[in-house]
Protein backbone atom coordinates (compact mmCIF):
# COMPACT_ATOMS: atom_id res chain seq x y z
CA UNK A 1 0.00 0.00 0.00
CA UNK A 2 1.01 3.60 -0.62
CA UNK A 3 -0.09 6.13 1.98
CA UNK A 4 -0.13 9.71 0.75
CA UNK A 5 1.04 12.00 3.56
CA UNK A 6 1.09 14.99 1.16
CA UNK A 7 0.60 14.88 -2.60
CA UNK A 8 2.58 18.00 -3.54
CA UNK A 9 1.03 20.53 -5.96
CA UNK A 10 -0.72 17.90 -8.13
CA UNK A 11 -0.28 14.16 -8.24
CA UNK A 12 -2.23 11.46 -10.05
CA UNK A 13 -2.17 7.74 -10.82
CA UNK A 14 -1.12 7.10 -14.43
CA UNK A 15 -0.52 4.16 -16.71
CA UNK A 16 -0.45 4.27 -20.50
CA UNK A 17 -4.07 5.39 -20.75
CA UNK A 18 -7.22 4.13 -22.42
CA UNK A 19 -6.75 4.18 -26.19
CA UNK A 20 -9.53 3.05 -28.52
CA UNK A 21 -12.41 5.10 -27.10
CA UNK A 22 -11.84 8.47 -28.81
CA UNK A 23 -14.94 7.96 -31.00
CA UNK A 24 -17.01 7.76 -27.80
CA UNK A 25 -15.60 11.05 -26.52
CA UNK A 26 -13.10 9.46 -24.13
CA UNK A 27 -9.61 11.04 -24.01
CA UNK A 28 -6.67 8.64 -24.14
CA UNK A 29 -5.09 10.09 -20.97
CA UNK A 30 -2.11 8.20 -19.45
CA UNK A 31 1.33 9.44 -18.38
CA UNK A 32 2.13 12.84 -19.91
CA UNK A 33 5.74 11.62 -20.32
CA UNK A 34 5.16 7.95 -21.14
CA UNK A 35 8.86 7.24 -21.74
CA UNK A 36 9.63 8.18 -18.13
CA UNK A 37 6.82 5.97 -16.75
CA UNK A 38 7.99 3.03 -18.87
CA UNK A 39 11.54 3.43 -17.59
CA UNK A 40 10.42 3.63 -13.96
CA UNK A 41 8.42 0.43 -14.40
CA UNK A 42 11.33 -1.43 -16.01
CA UNK A 43 13.55 -0.42 -13.10
CA UNK A 44 11.31 -2.16 -10.56
CA UNK A 45 10.62 -5.20 -12.75
CA UNK A 46 7.05 -4.22 -13.73
CA UNK A 47 5.39 -4.45 -17.11
CA UNK A 48 6.00 -1.11 -18.86
CA UNK A 49 2.33 -0.19 -18.75
CA UNK A 50 1.84 -0.73 -14.99
CA UNK A 51 0.30 2.19 -13.12
CA UNK A 52 2.57 4.52 -11.17
CA UNK A 53 2.35 8.03 -9.77
CA UNK A 54 2.83 11.21 -11.78
CA UNK A 55 4.03 14.00 -9.49
CA UNK A 56 3.75 17.55 -10.81
CA UNK A 57 6.43 19.86 -9.37
CA UNK A 58 7.48 17.12 -6.93
CA UNK A 59 6.72 17.97 -3.34
CA UNK A 60 5.12 14.65 -2.37
CA UNK A 61 5.50 12.80 0.94
CA UNK A 62 4.65 9.11 0.77
CA UNK A 63 4.73 6.19 3.21
CA UNK A 64 4.84 2.49 2.42
CA UNK A 65 3.55 0.62 5.50
CA UNK A 66 4.71 -2.78 4.20
CA UNK A 67 7.89 -1.49 2.55
CA UNK A 68 8.26 -1.28 -1.22
CA UNK A 69 10.74 -1.32 -4.09
CA UNK A 70 10.54 2.02 -5.84
CA UNK A 71 12.05 3.91 -8.75
CA UNK A 72 11.73 7.57 -9.70
CA UNK A 73 12.27 8.93 -13.20
CA UNK A 74 11.34 12.03 -15.20
CA UNK A 75 12.00 15.43 -13.65
CA UNK A 76 14.86 14.85 -11.15
CA UNK A 77 14.12 15.82 -7.54
CA UNK A 78 16.04 15.68 -4.29
CA UNK A 79 14.91 12.60 -2.34
CA UNK A 80 15.02 11.88 1.36
CA UNK A 81 14.18 8.56 3.01
CA UNK A 82 15.19 7.71 6.59
CA UNK A 83 16.83 4.28 6.67
CA UNK A 84 16.93 4.00 2.86
CA UNK A 85 19.24 4.97 0.05
CA UNK A 86 17.04 6.57 -2.57
CA UNK A 87 18.51 7.35 -5.98
CA UNK A 88 17.18 8.67 -9.25
CA UNK A 89 16.67 6.27 -12.14
CA UNK A 90 17.58 3.34 -9.91
CA UNK A 91 15.50 0.86 -7.88
CA UNK A 92 15.67 1.27 -4.09
CA UNK A 93 13.95 -0.21 -1.08
CA UNK A 94 11.69 1.91 1.10
CA UNK A 95 11.66 0.29 4.58
CA UNK A 96 8.25 -0.32 6.20
CA UNK A 97 6.77 2.89 7.58
CA UNK A 98 9.56 5.18 6.37
CA UNK A 99 8.46 8.42 4.73
CA UNK A 100 9.83 9.26 1.29
CA UNK A 101 10.12 12.99 0.76
CA UNK A 102 10.31 14.23 -2.80
CA UNK A 103 11.58 17.80 -3.15
CA UNK A 104 11.08 20.30 -5.95
CA UNK A 105 12.56 19.18 -9.27
CA UNK A 106 15.83 20.86 -10.28
CA UNK A 107 14.41 21.05 -13.76
CA UNK A 108 11.49 19.51 -15.62
CA UNK A 109 7.91 19.28 -14.40
CA UNK A 110 6.74 15.69 -14.00
CA UNK A 111 8.35 12.98 -11.90
CA UNK A 112 7.22 9.35 -12.11
CA UNK A 113 7.24 6.93 -9.23
CA UNK A 114 6.91 3.24 -9.98
CA UNK A 115 6.33 0.73 -7.21
CA UNK A 116 7.17 -2.94 -7.66
CA UNK A 117 3.81 -4.65 -8.36
CA UNK A 118 2.27 -1.45 -9.74
CA UNK A 119 -0.44 0.79 -8.26
CA UNK A 120 -3.57 -1.37 -8.17
CA UNK A 121 -6.25 1.34 -8.11
CA UNK A 122 -9.59 0.36 -9.66
CA UNK A 123 -9.31 0.44 -13.48
CA UNK A 124 -11.90 2.35 -15.52
CA UNK A 125 -12.31 1.36 -19.19
CA UNK A 126 -9.14 -0.70 -18.97
CA UNK A 127 -6.93 1.99 -17.43
CA UNK A 128 -6.00 3.31 -13.99
CA UNK A 129 -5.13 6.76 -15.34
CA UNK A 130 -6.67 9.89 -13.88
CA UNK A 131 -8.12 11.86 -16.77
CA UNK A 132 -8.09 15.50 -15.66
CA UNK A 133 -10.39 16.53 -18.53
CA UNK A 134 -13.25 14.06 -18.12
CA UNK A 135 -12.74 12.98 -14.50
CA UNK A 136 -12.45 9.29 -15.38
CA UNK A 137 -10.15 7.16 -13.24
CA UNK A 138 -8.94 7.60 -9.66
CA UNK A 139 -9.29 11.03 -8.06
CA UNK A 140 -6.09 13.13 -7.84
CA UNK A 141 -4.10 12.19 -4.74
CA UNK A 142 -4.87 13.93 -1.46
CA UNK A 143 -3.37 13.76 1.99
CA UNK A 144 -4.68 10.50 3.43
CA UNK A 145 -5.24 8.73 0.08
CA UNK A 146 -4.27 5.05 0.35
CA UNK A 147 -3.48 3.19 -2.85
CA UNK A 148 -3.22 -0.59 -3.09
CA UNK A 149 -0.13 -2.12 -4.66
CA UNK A 150 -0.36 -5.16 -6.93
CA UNK A 151 1.51 -8.44 -6.78
CA UNK A 152 4.97 -8.32 -8.40
CA UNK A 153 5.16 -10.33 -11.60
CA UNK A 154 8.75 -9.71 -12.67
CA UNK A 155 12.26 -9.61 -11.24
CA UNK A 156 14.34 -6.49 -10.73
CA UNK A 157 17.18 -6.91 -13.20
CA UNK A 158 18.47 -3.36 -13.61
CA UNK A 159 20.65 -1.49 -11.12
CA UNK A 160 20.65 1.93 -12.66
CA UNK A 161 19.56 3.59 -15.86
CA UNK A 162 21.45 6.53 -17.32
CA UNK A 163 19.63 9.71 -16.40
CA UNK A 164 18.47 11.48 -19.57
CA UNK A 165 20.74 14.45 -20.26
CA UNK A 166 19.25 17.88 -19.81
CA UNK A 167 18.69 19.52 -23.15
CA UNK A 168 17.18 22.74 -24.34
CA UNK A 169 13.73 21.61 -25.44
CA UNK A 170 13.62 21.54 -29.22
CA UNK A 171 10.64 19.71 -30.64
CA UNK A 172 10.12 18.66 -34.23
CA UNK A 173 6.76 19.44 -35.81
CA UNK A 174 5.33 17.74 -38.86
CA UNK A 175 3.13 20.20 -40.79
CA UNK A 176 -0.58 19.55 -41.14
CA UNK A 177 -3.30 18.52 -41.24
CA UNK A 178 -4.53 22.15 -41.41
CA UNK A 179 -1.38 24.14 -42.19
CA UNK A 180 -3.29 25.52 -45.18
CA UNK A 181 -5.61 27.42 -42.80
CA UNK A 182 -2.68 29.70 -41.97
CA UNK A 183 -0.71 32.27 -43.91
CA UNK A 184 2.23 30.65 -45.74
CA UNK A 185 4.73 32.23 -43.35
CA UNK A 186 3.05 30.79 -40.24
CA UNK A 187 5.21 27.65 -40.10
CA UNK A 188 8.32 29.83 -40.27
CA UNK A 189 6.89 32.02 -37.51
CA UNK A 190 6.33 28.92 -35.39
CA UNK A 191 10.01 28.00 -35.68
CA UNK A 192 11.42 31.54 -35.69
CA UNK A 193 11.98 31.89 -31.96
CA UNK A 194 11.16 29.93 -28.82
CA UNK A 195 7.72 30.14 -27.25
CA UNK A 196 7.26 30.59 -23.53
CA UNK A 197 5.26 28.00 -21.61
CA UNK A 198 2.31 29.69 -19.95
CA UNK A 199 1.02 29.28 -16.38
CA UNK A 200 -2.27 27.76 -17.49
CA UNK A 201 -0.63 24.68 -19.04
CA UNK A 202 -1.83 21.35 -17.69
CA UNK A 203 -2.25 17.70 -18.68
CA UNK A 204 -4.60 18.75 -21.49
CA UNK A 205 -2.03 20.87 -23.22
CA UNK A 206 1.05 23.07 -23.08
CA UNK A 207 -0.19 26.59 -23.68
CA UNK A 208 2.41 28.79 -25.31
CA UNK A 209 3.05 32.50 -25.63
CA UNK A 210 5.02 33.98 -28.48
CA UNK A 211 4.66 34.91 -32.12
CA UNK A 212 1.08 34.97 -33.31
CA UNK A 213 0.22 32.43 -36.00
CA UNK A 214 -2.06 34.21 -38.43
CA UNK A 215 -4.92 32.54 -40.22
CA UNK A 216 -5.26 32.69 -43.99
CA UNK A 217 -8.96 31.95 -43.84
CA UNK A 218 -11.80 32.96 -41.60
CA UNK A 219 -14.70 30.79 -40.55
CA UNK A 220 -14.97 27.72 -38.40
CA UNK A 221 -13.47 24.33 -38.97
CA UNK A 222 -16.06 21.58 -38.45
CA UNK A 223 -15.03 19.59 -35.39
CA UNK A 224 -12.54 16.82 -36.25
CA UNK A 225 -10.49 14.13 -34.51
CA UNK A 226 -7.43 15.35 -32.61
CA UNK A 227 -4.16 13.51 -31.91
CA UNK A 228 -1.58 13.58 -29.14
CA UNK A 229 1.01 16.26 -29.90
CA UNK A 230 -1.32 18.28 -32.14
CA UNK A 231 -0.36 21.98 -32.23
CA UNK A 232 -3.80 23.53 -32.15
CA UNK A 233 -4.20 27.24 -32.79
CA UNK A 234 -7.20 29.03 -31.28
CA UNK A 235 -8.28 32.46 -32.59
CA UNK A 236 -5.68 34.18 -30.36
CA UNK A 237 -2.98 32.75 -32.65
CA UNK A 238 -1.09 31.39 -29.62
CA UNK A 239 -0.45 27.64 -30.06
CA UNK A 240 -1.34 24.82 -27.66
CA UNK A 241 0.47 21.46 -27.77
CA UNK A 242 -1.97 18.71 -26.85
CA UNK A 243 -0.86 16.31 -24.12
CA UNK A 244 -2.39 13.08 -22.75
CA UNK A 245 -5.76 14.48 -21.58
CA UNK A 246 -6.51 16.39 -24.81
CA UNK A 247 -10.13 16.36 -26.03
CA UNK A 248 -10.66 13.65 -28.68
CA UNK A 249 -12.21 16.16 -31.10
CA UNK A 250 -11.72 19.86 -31.62
CA UNK A 251 -12.69 22.73 -33.84
CA UNK A 252 -9.53 24.84 -34.06
CA UNK A 253 -7.13 24.14 -36.91
CA UNK A 254 -3.99 22.09 -36.22
CA UNK A 255 -0.97 23.61 -37.92
CA UNK A 256 1.33 20.68 -37.16
CA UNK A 257 1.92 17.67 -34.93
CA UNK A 258 4.88 17.19 -32.57
CA UNK A 259 6.97 14.09 -33.30
CA UNK A 260 6.14 11.34 -30.79
CA UNK A 261 9.78 11.06 -29.71
CA UNK A 262 9.86 14.77 -28.76
CA UNK A 263 6.55 14.90 -26.93
CA UNK A 264 8.08 14.05 -23.51
CA UNK A 265 10.14 17.25 -23.80
CA UNK A 266 6.98 19.26 -24.25
CA UNK A 267 5.37 17.43 -21.31
CA UNK A 268 8.37 18.28 -19.10
CA UNK A 269 8.42 21.99 -19.95
CA UNK A 270 7.35 24.08 -16.98
CA UNK A 271 5.62 27.43 -16.96
CA UNK A 272 8.25 30.02 -17.84
CA UNK A 273 10.42 27.51 -19.76
CA UNK A 274 11.04 28.08 -23.43
CA UNK A 275 10.12 25.62 -26.13
CA UNK A 276 11.63 25.79 -29.61
CA UNK A 277 9.94 24.24 -32.62
CA UNK A 278 11.70 22.88 -35.68
CA UNK A 279 9.55 22.17 -38.71
CA UNK A 280 10.28 18.75 -40.12
CA UNK A 281 9.73 18.41 -43.87
CA UNK A 282 10.25 14.66 -44.29
Partner 1 sequence: MIRRVGERGLLVETGELALSHRLDARLRAEPPAGVVEIVPGPETVLVVSEAADLAPLRAHLAGLLAAAEAEPEAAGADGSGEVLVIPVVYDGEDLPRVAAETGLSTDEVIARHTGSELVVGWLGFAPGFAYLTGLDPRLHLPRLATPRTGVPAGSVAVAGPYSAVYPTASPGGWRLLGRTATTVWDVRADPPTRFRPGLRVRFEAA
CB closer to partner 1, 140 vs 177: 177
Least distance CB 261 / partner 1 (angstroms): 9
> How far apart are alpha carbons 191 and 216 in whole angstroms?
18
For partner 1, give the closer residue by CB, 141 or 230. 230
Q: DSSP character for 124?
A: B
Cα-Cα-Cα-Cα dihedral sign, residues 40, 44, 48, 54: negative
Are 208 and 274 a contacting pair, CB within 8 Å?
no
CA torsion angle for 245, 187, 211, 227 (degrees, to 10)?
Answer: -10
* DSSP bridge pairs for 53: 13, 113
Largest CA distance in the chain: 63
Nearer to partner 1, 6 or 259 (CB): 259
CB 140 → partner 1: shortest distance, Å?
18
CB of 228 to partner 1, least distance (A): 8
Give the DSSP H or E segment for 14: strand 10-14
Of 211, 4, 1, which is closest to residue 101 (Cα–Cα)?
4
Nearer to partner 1, 124 or 233 (CB): 124
Residues comprising the chain, all counted: 282
CB of 104 to partner 1, least distance (A): 33
Q: Which is nearer to partner 1, 19 or 164 (CB)?
A: 19
CB of 210 to partner 1, least distance (A): 21
Rounded (10°) CA dihedral 238, 242, 247, 253: 50
Query: Quick count: other Cβ atoms within 10 Å of Cβ 168?
Result: 10
- Comparison of 55 and 186: residue with beta carbon closer to partner 1: 186
Q: Which residues bind partner 1 (CB under 8 A)?
A: 19-27, 124-125, 134-136, 174, 176-178, 222-227, 229-230, 247-249, 254, 256-260
Amino acid sequence: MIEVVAPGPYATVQDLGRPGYAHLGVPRSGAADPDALRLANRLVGNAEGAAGLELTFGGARLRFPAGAWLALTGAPCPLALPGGRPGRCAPFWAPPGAELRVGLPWYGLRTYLAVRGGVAAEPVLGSRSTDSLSGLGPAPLRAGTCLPVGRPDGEITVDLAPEPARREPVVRVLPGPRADWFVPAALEELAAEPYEVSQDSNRVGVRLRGRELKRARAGELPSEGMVLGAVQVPPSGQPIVFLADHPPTGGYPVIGVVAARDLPMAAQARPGDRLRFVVSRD
